[in-house]
Amino acid sequence: MKNDIIIGWIGTGKMGSSMAGHFINSGYICNIYNRTYSKAKPLIDKGARWCNNPEEVALKSDIVFTMVGYPEDVEEVYFGESGILKALRPNHICVDMTTTKPSLAIKIYELVKSMSADFIDAPVSGGDIGARNATLSIMVGGEENIYNKILPLLELLGKNIVYQGKVGSGQHTKMCNQIVIASTMIGVCESLLYARNAGLDSETMLKSITKGAAGCWSLDNLAPRIINKNYEPGFYVEHFIKDLGIAIEESTRMGLKLPGLELAKSLYDKVKNMGYGKKGTQALMLALEEISLIKQ
């Protein structure tokens, strides 16, 4: 058992559960909290120690990781009545891996630093597959010396870990990631619609285009799910809509108008309005099928 560092983990959802599990499997003592106890139970069965709130996690841990859903969840976890900041002590390190607002990352950093502790923003990309296989791409913002200190821990979670710069840079990089994915998913779905209507075998078609200039993670991992009508989440539609909303908000603040991003957001809003907010991002296909049928 590794006793030199005690890990705290808050958020055991679709991705967080797998990520925390890698620390446990690597021999770390791991204190965990999740709003729904049942979602944390598999980790407790593996040896994690249950805590009743984020404050207790921070009290009993050296480094606290957070991986929750929305910016308001991050605020509650850090600033709430039983939040992390209630138990923060000098030299504590907090790492938020949630995709959230860059301005919120800066706000947390400033408060944490005022308490002689440290904060890193480190959102991830790679979905449930990347979380499960510890192959996530991790985008890190914060002080470089703190990044170097936690790098061995991040390496247990991902394969592509890049220090982006000052606090908030990780979140801005994640917005770049989501902007690319948003338009890419439109292309993936529309290509499958085109193939179907052209009389092609979609799986055979993918054998060609995944190895050419169109090749990308979404084609490799999500196109096969679409073909098999598997719309279960690797990453929730409603969470993706949250991310796209943040990207639009940040773009507006910088004086940018990104029409492709706005189109993708409107299409994903349609997916949610159809009742598929809890499905995976590949459920965009369901909205585009409806639109294409109307046009026919």
Largest CA distance in the chain: 64
Predicted confidence band of residue 1 (pLDDT cuts 50, 70, 90): very low
Cα(32)–Cα(20) distance, integer angstroms = 8
Cα(241)–Cα(150) distance, integer angstroms = 30
Q: Is 174 a catalytic residue?
A: yes
Of 14, 101, 174, 272, catalytic? 174
State pLDDT tens for residues 70-98.
Answer: 999 999 999 999 999 999 999 999 999 99
The mean of the pLDDT values for the chain is 95
State pLDDT tens for residues 156-208.
Answer: 999 999 999 999 999 999 999 999 999 999 999 999 999 999 999 999 999 99
Predicted confidence band of residue 292 (pLDDT cuts 50, 70, 90): confident
State pLDDT tens for residues 25-55.
Answer: 999 999 999 999 999 999 999 999 999 999 9
For residue 110, give the amino acid letter. Answer: E
pTM: 0.93
Cα(271)–Cα(262) distance, integer angstroms = 14
Domain locations in the chain?
Answer: 2-167, 172-295
Residues 83, 77: contact at Cβ < 8 Å? yes
Number of H helices and E strands in the chain, helices first, is 14, 9
The CATH number of 2-167 is 3.40.50.720
Instruction: Answer whether CATH 1.10.1040.10 is correct for domain 172-295.
Output: yes
